[in-house]
Chains A and B, each alone.
Chain A
Amino acid sequence: MLTLTSPVETWAHGLPAGAKLAALAIATTSLFLLDAPLTLAAALGATVLLYLTGGARFALAGLRLLRPLWPFVVIVGLWHLWTRDLSGGAVILMRMVAAVGLANFVTMTTRLSDMLAVIERLARPLSRFGVAPRRLAIAFALVIRFIPVMLDRLDEIGASWRARSPHRPRWRVLVPATLAALDDADRTAEALRARGGAG
């Protein structure tokens, strides 16, 4: 699910997106400058507390978003066990979990359109090189909107393959899926034009 903004309203939902992103940039940089295990443990603790201010349901949702990290935790953990550098491993893991946790916190408490407004503002200097900031922002939104649509399309193509074949389709869905994506792109362009274009 790509709509990551949490439906649980927290105090942080009301903060301006630009301020949250700036704070995130400072916090992440600091995490990489710190390397004392105790300081990092404190930073991780602070991140957990930050989540808890949003309530238990919000904190649990945040925990679930960390799930993609587990392969890295396993690999880094095993490596440092093998090299017997436990505190070094703990530093890397705490830094990683805290950094991703903070980034997720900003994502969960910021509406996509507010995030896009920041991108639009930051991209303003690019307009000198012919990149329209508004277009860039709409492109981001379209990616987030259409990834689930394309995954559904991939499932449909797989299903219509399996309906008429005893074999699994595997890579052979790629060509029809690509064509379907191009077709969707045409229709999306039309829908954009029907409501005022991307400008």
Chain B
Amino acid sequence: MAEPSSGIEIAAASVRLGGRLVLDGLELHLTEARIGVLGRNGSGKTTLLRLIAGLIAPDAGTVRVDGCDPFTDRRAALAALGILFQNPDHQILFPTVEEELAFGLAQQGMTQAEALARAHQALQAEGRAHWAKAPVTSLSQGQRHYLCLMAVLMMAPRTILLDEPLAGLDLPTQARLARRFAALPQRLVTITHDPATVQTCDRVLWLDDGRIVADGPPGTVLPAFIAEMARIGGQDADADLAG
């Protein structure tokens, strides 16, 4: 995290999925420490996250994270970016906690023995040394989220992308995770449909139908978003089909 971070630069980026234009000519330069991306289901916010993470390539335009193309330069992308998926079961790849934690480090070039030792250290530091050999299936939903966050943090990325990080968790778990996120030195990009999750961000983007509707501090974006959601909710919402 010592390297200078020039942030996330997206120029004229469009993404089509199954013939549908999901992101439409986005222009963004994100340098703030806490960034929120707000939008309804189907607004393209998860696609934006996957685009920034380099999991998909834009059909037009360019994406640069700290100066590198995250889709083609995976080695640089791993140092620059970590991503926390919404469902931990879509993220956890290994049967035991220590192996899950060691995997990313081994991918960054560490030997398996070093990676395992680092995993044990990290668990110790978090007061969870007894988790090391536990099967991931024995962890609760909140614990799996925590494991995924630890796995991402151990790879020491400069930016972490969070996809609905608090959805589906009970209130104490939400509070704990939120506190943990707030204390992180990394740049965080949080995508969510819930305005409360991004109210402490430095900058909030409101995404609708693949375009930026509003971009600014939460004080100006959130009231407009909440009012618009209430207006749509008052009508016969969700009758239109995508396409």
Contacts and interface: CB of A to CB of B under 8 A. Distances in A.
A47 interface: no
Interface string B76-117: 001000110100011111111011001110011000100010
A3 B137 contact: yes
Interface residues on A, range: 20 to 34
Nearest to A199: B107
B151 A188 contact: no
A2 B92 CA distance: 15
**Which of A1, A141, A144, A194 neighbours the largest number of chain B CB atoms within 10 Å of its CB?**
A194
A112 B96 contact: yes
Contacts of B112: 113, 117
Interface string B21-65: 000000000000000000000000000001001110000000000
A144 B137 CA distance: 11
B211 interface: no
Given A188-B90, A190-B55, A141 B74 contact: no
Contacts of A142: 93
A11 to B, nearest CB: 16
B168 to A, nearest CB: 15
Given A195-B78, A196-B78, A141 B93 contact: yes
A197 interface: yes
A141 B98 CA distance: 13
Nearest to B116: A113
Interface in A170-199: 184, 187-188, 190-197
B136 interface: yes
A194 B108 CA distance: 12
Nearest to B91: A191
Contact of B99 (A112, A192, A197): A112
Given A193-B55, A194-B53, A145 B92 contact: yes
A86 interface: no
A5 B133 contact: yes
Nearest to A120: B112
B99 A113 contact: yes
A193 B74 contact: yes
Contacts of B136: 145
A191 B148 CA distance: 11
Contact of A194 (B55, B92, B102): B55
A148 interface: yes
A194 B85 CA distance: 10
Contacts of B108: 196
A68 interface: no
A197 B90 contact: no
Contacts of B89: 149
A130 interface: no
A148 B137 contact: yes
Contacts of B93: 138, 141-142, 145, 188, 191-192, 195
A173 to B, nearest CB: 19
A71 interface: no
B135 A3 contact: yes
Contacts of B103: 195
Interface in B119-144: 133-137
B212 interface: no
B188 interface: no
A149 B136 CA distance: 11
Nearest to A149: B89
A199 B156 CA distance: 20
A129 to B, nearest CB: 24
Q: 8 smallest A-B Cβ distances: which pairs?
A: A196-B107, A3-B135, A187-B90, A195-B104, A145-B95, A191-B91, A113-B99, A194-B83
Interface of A: 1-3, 5, 7, 111-113, 117, 138, 141-142, 144-145, 148-149, 184, 187-188, 190-197
Given A184-B90, A190-B50, 4 more contacts: A113-B112, A193-B54, A195-B155, A196-B78
6 contacts: A117-B112, A145-B95, A192-B93, A193-B55, A194-B53, A194-B82
